[in-house]
Amino acid sequence: MRSDDAARPLVLFATYSVQPELTEDDRLFARALERRGVEVCAAAWDDPAKAWHHAAAVVIRSTWNYHLHHAAFLQWIDRVAATTALHNDARVVRWNSHKKYLAEVARRGVPVIDTVFADTGSRLDVSEVARTHGWGDIVVKPAVSASAHETRRFAAHARADAQEHLNRLLTTRDVMVQPHLAALAEQGELSLLFARGRFTHAVRRRSALVDGHVMPKSAPADAPVPAVEGARRALDAAGALTGISPNDYLYARVDLAAAVPDQYLLLEIELIEPSLFLFHAPNVAEEYASALMQ
């Protein structure tokens, strides 16, 4: 980590203007850094007055509106990366910001949830796609998205509503269509967390598309060996596609869904601003702090 003040380097955690302060999760991360003599401050990425070059490092954390300002966000990461250390690397962030990366990872042999993409301004027949793929309930969402923005689940009898939602989205953005997996309703998502390529912990998360479920929003979880191996394969593919080794990712979260016993489908690789769920494993914050200090 580069610093102009070796005695007390400044690290900026990038947030956003609507919620500029650190999250509960990131306060644990920040305190672990502060115990190492680092000053940590929150800074909204969309604050035009912020002097990012004064920081020894900038860590993208809760930039949860970047999908609404995608072009501006990509310009911002390039500006920051030109003057200080950015985590994750700008090339990784750019690649990960559009979910077409799922198709690239799938072509490298990683089992990925079945996904059909449609480019802005194109046409796609939802009923034909669902029939061809044998899907029941489907999910329609933007290919650049966060926090389930404009993500909707449609039952098999609501194809007309799904088509209307898809058509509206396609007027301004790229869109993706996927099946809604029964396993997500039954078990939720299994999220595996990594620091510099090393597995740290796992959580099970309730799907945002399942209503009225008794499953907690998130909870600590065991990570079966096949899940860890699957997550590593996904990260290795990301490394090959970006030219940046997973060992150089400060953080990574891999979200999986159980397909059949001991097999998992990749839902997402989160390399930009994932919740790390450190409040479920507070001691792990030390590992992320150590990873940043490398």
**Residue 160 confidence (pLDDT):** 98
Q: Could you give the dihedral angle defined by the CA atoms of residues 80, 85, 90 and 93, in that order, rounded to the nearest 10 degrees?
A: -110
Instruction: Tell me phi and psi for residue 270, to 5 degrees.
Output: -105, 105
- At 91, list the tokens: 């090339």
pLDDT digits (tens, 9 = 90+) for 144-172: 998 788 999 999 999 999 999 999 999 99
Measured between alpha carbons, how far is 239 from 175 in angstroms, rounded to an integer?
Answer: 25
Q: Could you give the dihedral angle defined by the CA atoms of residues 203, 198, 7 and 63, in that order, rounded to the nearest 10 degrees?
A: -50
Q: What is the CA radius of gyration of the chain?
A: 19
**Residue 1 confidence (pLDDT):** 60
For the chain, domain boundaries = 10-87, 101-111+183-293, 116-180
Taking CA atoms, 189 is separated from 5, 73, 253, in Å, by 42, 28, 12
Superfamily of domain 116-180: ATP-grasp fold, A domain (3.30.1490.20)
**Residue 216 confidence (pLDDT):** 86
**Residue 209 confidence (pLDDT):** 80
Instruction: Tell me phi and psi for residue 71, to 5 degrees.
Output: -60, -45
**Residue 207 confidence (pLDDT):** 84
pLDDT digits (tens, 9 = 90+) for 225-269: 999 999 999 999 999 999 999 999 999 999 999 988 789 999 999
Instruction: Tell me phi and psi for residue 212, to 5 degrees.
Output: 60, 35
Residues 6+ apart with CB under 8 A from 211: none
**Residue 3 confidence (pLDDT):** 47
- CB 251, CB 197: distance < 8 Å: no
- Short-list 245, 274, 272, 242, CA closest to 77: 272
**Residue 6 confidence (pLDDT):** 53
**Residue 77 confidence (pLDDT):** 98
- The ranges of the chain with pLDDT < 70 are 1-6, 212-214
Name the CATH topology of 101-111+183-293: D-amino Acid Aminotransferase; Chain A, domain 1 (3.30.470)
184 CB neighbour count, 10 Å cutoff = 23
- At 153, list the tokens: 């689940």
**Residue 8 confidence (pLDDT):** 87
**Residue 86 confidence (pLDDT):** 98
Measured between alpha carbons, how far is 101 from 106 in angstroms, rounded to an integer?
Answer: 9
Measured between alpha carbons, how far is 13 from 55 in angstroms, rounded to an integer?
Answer: 10
